[in-house]
């Protein structure tokens, strides 16, 4: 689209108008084949969003929210990346990388580590940016205690930052409705 300015902006959820949040939800519903559940959508809120605008049209979104991840006897402050999506007809142009650049800057400045649950299709995208696949067991700190989450093993990526991590040890996430990872 010649002449249309593409711009990446970051903002906290609190500073995004309701109409923009509705655009984000629509973008993500389309970007993920089956759409987002309400829980998936809620998981992407309450942190810092990276938004790519092509003129007045939203073509990309990713956000980072805070969670606690337990490993090695510590409760680490994790920046958890959610809702990463670029409009299908705008993929392969560097927008995904630009959004991750912006969020990784937030991660480096504010968190002990970055973490995310990758779709199969996007795993190589994160790996190429230095994100590392968690090798050990995965679990969740549920209201009934720590429960294994074996189905999620093999799709949890971390970005080691402020603290050394043993990727072969157990990683436990805090509790939430919907998909815990
Ligand atoms: C994953 C996604 C966000 C990538 O966005 P994008 O704008 O196409 O990515 P970019 O153009 O910035 O690509 C950056 C680099 O990653 C590579 N890449 C992008 N998507 C990739 C993929 N799915 N697998 C492997 N490599 C990928 C690109 O080739 C590029 O490499 P290069 O720098 O060597 O050229 C986009 O494909 C998408 O929205 N997918 C559907 C939703 C989804 O699965 N989101 C991830 C949820 S965890």
Report pLDDT digits (tens) over 3-13.
899 999 999 99
Would you state the structure tokens that stand for residue 66, as one six-digit string?
């805070």
Q: How far, in Å, CA of 122 to CA of 149, rounded?
A: 20
Q: What is the pLDDT of residue 5?
A: 94
Q: What is the pLDDT of residue 3?
A: 80
Ligand 1 close to Cβ of residue 88 (< 6 A): no
Give the start-end residues of each E strand in the chain: 6-12, 48-54, 57-71, 74-86, 113-117, 132-133, 138-142, 145-148, 156-160, 171-173
Contact 66, 25 (CB under 8 A): no
pLDDT, mean over the chain:
97
Question: Which atom of ligand 1 lies closest to the CA of 83?
Answer: 47
- Across the range 158-164, mean pLDDT stands at 95
Q: How far, in Å, CA of 133 to CA of 34, rounded?
A: 25
Could you say which DSSP state residue 45 is in? -
pTM of the predicted model as reported, rounded to 2 decimal places:
0.96
Q: Atom 27 of ligand 1 has which residue's CA nearest to it?
A: 125
């Amino acid at each position: 689209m010649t002449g249309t300015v593409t711009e990446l902006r970051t903002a906290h959820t609190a500073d995004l108008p309701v109409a923009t949040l509705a655009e984000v939800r629509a973008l993500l519903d389309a970007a993920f084949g089956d759409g987002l559940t309400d829980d998936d959508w809620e998981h992407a809120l309450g942190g810092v969003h990276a938004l790519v605008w092509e003129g007045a049209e939203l073509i990309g979104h990713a956000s980072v929210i805070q969670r606690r991840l337990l490993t090695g006897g510590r409760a680490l402050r994790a920046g958890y990346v959610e809702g990463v999506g670029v409009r299908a007809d705008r993929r392969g142009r560097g927008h995904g990388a630009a959004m991750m650049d912006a969020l990784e800057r937030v991660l480096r400045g504010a968190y002990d580590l970055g973490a995310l649950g990758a779709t199969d299709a996007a795993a190589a995208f994160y790996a190429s940016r230095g994100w590392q696949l968690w090798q050990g067991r995965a679990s969740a700190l549920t209201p009934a205690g720590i429960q294994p989450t074996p189905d999620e093993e093999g799709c949890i990526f971390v970005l080691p930052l402020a603290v050394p991590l043993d990727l072969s040890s157990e990683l436990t996430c805090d509790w939430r409705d919907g998909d815990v990872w």
